[in-house]
């Protein structure tokens, strides 16, 4: 169904895949991939952990739960899209791959791969944005927690920028970021109440205030603020104490960031535009202008998750 004319904010969000897009609606997830044979779609009903465990739906906790759930769903969607674009169809599987295929059922193997990928992704983020900045900041032997946190904050932002710039320059990743732009444009078109056509989507902005790139940037900023509040009361000169405390603070940091993004995403005024500006600027590295074929994929994915009941996806 199409939305009536008039702007609003939708809770529908997405993720760019390999030659495709994952859209997440209030009731369904939809994957659309442009394979060599044509468009391939997969639609699944959404299940919320908070429905089974209501305590996980309270503020702060729900942020960490949503983050982990999104990572799991995203990894599964990436694996689905990657299946249509093997690196080398003629390549012989390795010994480990053969052993896994022979000894572990397909469904269980997929679950193990997803779990390993999520753990690896979280581990990489911890190394890049927590351990590395903490180690580098320690090399300066700051005499106060305020100076140490300032150095660590600068390093975190530098690492984030370097990571995004390097990723955006990879040819395959560049196309993924083009699909990312198509996702944002399609969501903007839907929120504007316009018919979902290539022409209407093409003219929309590619920077969206509720993007995951902005979320990642805010996580870094919130972690710097929280560290500044906590470090004066601990033995901050010990690297092990710093790392341990940062690990303990992960859930509240992600939770506060999630609530912040919900608040900013629900309003459009001078204050929220200023608060969201840095994250929007970072999207210059993680979104690119899509071609019409990418926009078609995004439109198809969007149509599959729009709820029948109007207003059910209101932010």
Over residues 108-166, the pLDDT tens digits come to: 766 777 788 888 888 888 888 888 998 899 899 888 888 988 999 899 999 988 988 88
Reference 182, options 287, 104, 95; nearest CA is 287
* Stated pTM of the model: 0.85
91 pLDDT above the threshold of 80: no
179-212: per-residue pLDDT in tens?
999 999 999 999 999 999 999 999 999 998 888 8
Element (H, E) at 92: none
Residue with tokens 């009731």: 27
5 pLDDT above the threshold of 60: no
Answer yes or no: are the C-beta atoms of 193 and 220 closer than 8 Å. no
258-277: per-residue pLDDT in tens?
888 888 877 777 888 888 88
- Please report the pLDDT score of residue 95 as a whole number: 62
- Please report the pLDDT score of residue 224 as a whole number: 87
- Please report the pLDDT score of residue 32 as a whole number: 97
Residue with tokens 């790392």: 243
The average confidence (pLDDT) of the chain is: 86
311 pLDDT above the threshold of 60: yes
Comparing 61-65, 69-73, 215-219, the range with the smallest average pLDDT is 215-219
Reference 40, options 77, 88, 3, 92; nearest CA is 77
Reference 186, options 202, 209, 207; nearest CA is 202
Distance between CA atoms of residues 294 and 254, nearest Å: 31
Answer yes or no: are the C-beta atoms of 267 and 177 closer than 8 Å. no
Neighbour tally for 172: CB within 10 Å: 9
């Amino acid at each position: 169904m199409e939305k009536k004319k008039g702007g609003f904010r939708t809770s529908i969000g997405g993720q760019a895949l390999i030659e495709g897009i994952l859209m997440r609606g209030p009731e369904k997830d939809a994957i659309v991939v442009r394979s060599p044979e044509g468009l391939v779609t997969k639609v699944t009903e959404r299940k919320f952990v908070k429905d089974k465990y209501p305590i996980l739906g309270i503020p702060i906790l729900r942020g960490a739960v949503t983050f982990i759930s999104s990572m799991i769903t995203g990894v599964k969607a990436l694996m689905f899209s990657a299946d249509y674009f093997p690196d080398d169809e003629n390549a012989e599987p390795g010994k480990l791959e053969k052993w896994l295929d022979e000894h572990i059922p397909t469904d269980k193997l997929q679950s193990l791969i997803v779990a390993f990928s999520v753990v690896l992704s979280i581990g990489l983020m911890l190394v890049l944005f927590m351990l590395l900045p903490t180690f580098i900041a320690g090399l300066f032997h700051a005499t106060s927690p305020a100076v140490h946190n300032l150095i660590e904050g600068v390093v975190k932002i530098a690492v984030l920028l370097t990571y995004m710039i390097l990723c955006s320059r990879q040819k395959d990743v560049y196309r993924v970021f083009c699909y990312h732009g198509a996702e944002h444009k399609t969501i903007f078109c839907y929120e504007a109440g316009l018919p979902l056509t290539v022409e209407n989507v093409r003219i929309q902005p590619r920077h969206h205030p509720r993007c995951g790139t902005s979320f990642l940037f805010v996580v870094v900023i919130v972690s710097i603020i929280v560290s500044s509040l906590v470090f004066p009361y601990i033995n901050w000169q010990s690297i092990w104490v710093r790392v341990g405390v940062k690990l303990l603070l992960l859930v509240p940091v992600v939770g506060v960031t999630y609530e912040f993004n919900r608040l900013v995403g629900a309003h459009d005024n001078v204050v929220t535009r200023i608060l969201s500006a840095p994250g929007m600027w970072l999207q210059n590295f993680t979104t690119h202008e899509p071609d019409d074929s990418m926009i078609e994929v995004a439109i198809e994915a969007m149509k599959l998750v729009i709820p029948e009941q109007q207003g059910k996806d209101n932010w």
